[in-house]
A and B are shown apart, each in its own frame.
Chain A
Amino acid sequence: MSNIDKATVAKIARLARIKIEDDKLEPLAGELNNILGWVEQLDEVNTDDIQPMSSVVNAKLRWRQDEVSDGDKQESVLKNAPNAEYGFFAVPKVIE
């Protein structure tokens, strides 16, 4: 049985850059526990020696040839950017 506590919710939220008010952490922990508990019913099935299913259809990964067929669309790429300068995305300064 999974056990997501308040601190875990806060951590996940921070990693996902989602702002969650403190008073919402507890209820969310409950909801997430419910969801995980529901999914965990699958643990009842014995999956020893069974390969993970990577697709619901019998398909193989499609490979493409090494050809330049895209790009040269700076304007489209920057179109939705809140700010762009000299062809660059311009974002608030990030320095590690």
Chain B
Amino acid sequence: MSNYRIQGATGDWEVVLGLEVHAQVVSNAKLFSGAATEFGAEPNAQVSLVDAAMPGMLPTINAECIRQAVRTGLALGAQINKFSVFDRKNYFYADLPQGYQISQFKHPIVGEGTVTLDLGEGRTKDVGVERIHLEQDAGKSMHDQHPQLTYVDLNRSGVALMEIVSKPDMRSPEEAGAYLTKLRTILRYIGTCDGNMEQGSMRADVNVSVRKPGDPLGTRCEIKNVNSIRFVRQAIEYEAQRQVDIIEAGGTIDQETRLFDPSKGETRSMRSKEEAHDYRYFPDPDLLPVEFDDAFVDAARESLPELPDDKKARFVEELGVSDYNAGVLVGEKESCDYFENLLSALAAKTGKDAKALAAKASNWVMGDLFGALNKASKSVSESPVSAKQGADLLALVEDGTISGRIAKDVFEIMFETGKDAEAIVEEKGLRQVSDTGEIEKIIDEVIAANPGQLEQYRAGKDKLIGFFVGQVMKATGGKANPGMVNQLLKPKLDG
């Protein structure tokens, strides 16, 4: 349970949140036409006469969009409706050439499901999904290109969207952020939406209301088209406070659509009440109901990869990866792919069991790799060191060719140059010294050079063994096998 409360003059207020997420479906062609969906084309170059709503044009459903919606529903453990209906949602806007959006109203393709939020420190919370329906996206209006005109690009017009509607189950900005994060992770895993919020592939309408804990639901306001997880949190914080201030000043909340302005960090009213939308939904006479059989659903289920929650559980339980590491790795598909590729390459190379290597490998990915990537402002997919190369490096540590300490230096060079670990180790002569005779010789030298410390050690200052280890490592340029140094040093010190 969330303890998030707005402290008002009359006491604490609880925030009630529901999200409607618009997720662009990954498909080559649009929902009802053969035009491409790719981002960034010349204006109006990916528009068919269907998308431009020329008279007489008829929509034909894209099978892949249906399959993707079903896959999404299955990934959220949701009810799949083998019968669903497309309706017309009527309104006028310059970027909606049809004068209506083809959507699903009464009979959506997916019913109730669940998203499990990860709230950190092992805390989770289930948020209900009310429904998912398929609908067309509108075109894009640009208001800032000309003083008197709005420019309209219909490339996005007709692209398939999934509208994923949550139940009003969230109680804090943190939970709303976690919901969006988790939903995005799942969609990216199963490849039904690329989750790219900057390009608008995923955007959220946030329903916010406040109440005294235990009271019935308050009147909600809908904040439209918020396009980042951070903005969702900010918009909620501002909007909840605004509502509390109004109610405590004796006012009432008008149910309305609002807009979040990131530059000012505030929400403001979008449409006057007179313009309140009356969409007059009715079944689209151009489209018959969508129907499919169990075999279609089963095939969609078969096509799903391992889902993030299952994967995380497997990492922790079967591979012995820490809960924290598993959570972070699974959070981004690219990170997870990198880790899994690295681990399987490492297991193959060393002949060891993945379970024996996984914890170490995850630490390396989370520490060395992510640290270097962060510093260089690169994403995992841009890593100059591939998963295979990373595995080669870790394999050298595993078989004792280099020490963990040296591995860090080698990695730095790999990261800068993209060279393979083995080549660097050979080139720079970094091979770990595991020759007993050689190490013993160095130990003798070190002991001889530090009679004072030896005396203190023998007088009972045990901790000085660390000093001697350090000296030996220093003398070998860090290349001595630390395990062997420890093993050989003690008897010599003890005399």
A residues neighboring B (CB under 8 Å):
11, 15, 17, 52, 54-55, 59-74, 76-78, 83, 85-96
Contact = CB atoms under 8 A, between A and B. Distances in A.
Contacts of B49: 70, 73, 76-77
B48 interface: yes
Given A61-B289, A78-B44, A88 B151 contact: yes
Contact of B47 (A74, A85, A90): A74
Contacts of B48: 70-71, 73
B444 to A, nearest CB: 73
A93 B154 CA distance: 16
B245 to A, nearest CB: 24
A62 B60 contact: yes
Interface residues of B, number: 52
A59 B287 CA distance: 11
B29 A89 contact: no
Given A71-B34, A93-B150, 15 more contacts: A54-B288, A60-B291, A61-B287, A63-B66, A66-B65, A70-B33, A71-B45, A71-B46, A72-B46, A73-B48, A77-B49, A87-B42, A88-B145, A89-B154, A92-B148
Contacts of B35: 68, 70-71
Contacts of B50: 70
Of A11, A63, A95, most B-chain CB atoms within 10 Å: A63
Contacts of B62: 63-66
B92 interface: yes
Nearest to B280: A15
A94 B288 contact: no
B64 interface: yes
Contact of A70 (B34, B152, B154, B280): B34
Nearest to B143: A95
B142 A88 contact: yes
B63 A91 contact: no
A71 B36 contact: yes
B93 A94 contact: yes
Q: Which 10 A-B pairs have the closest CB atoms?
A: A69-B34, A66-B64, A70-B34, A88-B151, A71-B35, A70-B48, A61-B288, A89-B152, A87-B43, A63-B63
A63 B60 CA distance: 6
A96 to B, nearest CB: 5
Interface in B373-413: none
A68 B28 contact: yes
Contact of A73 (B47, B93, B280): B47
B290 interface: yes
Given A63-B63, A70-B35, A87 B287 contact: no
Contacts of B291: 60-61
B45 A64 contact: no
Contacts of A68: 28-29, 34-36
A15 B151 contact: no
A55 B287 CA distance: 9
B143 A67 contact: no
B356 interface: no
B123 interface: no
B52 interface: yes
B141 A94 contact: yes
Contacts of B90: 15
B94 A17 contact: no
Contacts of A62: 60-61
Given A70-B34, A77-B44, A94 B143 contact: yes
B302 interface: no
Interface in B1-54: 27-29, 33-36, 42-50, 52
B289 A54 contact: yes
Contacts of B150: 90-95
B157 to A, nearest CB: 10
B428 interface: no
B92 A85 contact: no
Contact of B43 (A73, A86, A94): A86
A89 B44 contact: yes
A72 B34 CA distance: 11
A67 to B, nearest CB: 6
B290 A61 contact: yes
Given A68-B36, A69-B29, A90-B146, A85 B61 contact: no
Contact of B149 (A54, A59, A73, A91): A91
Contact of A77 (B65, B146, B154): B154
Contacts of B63: 63-66
B45 A72 contact: yes
B271 interface: yes
B152 A77 contact: no
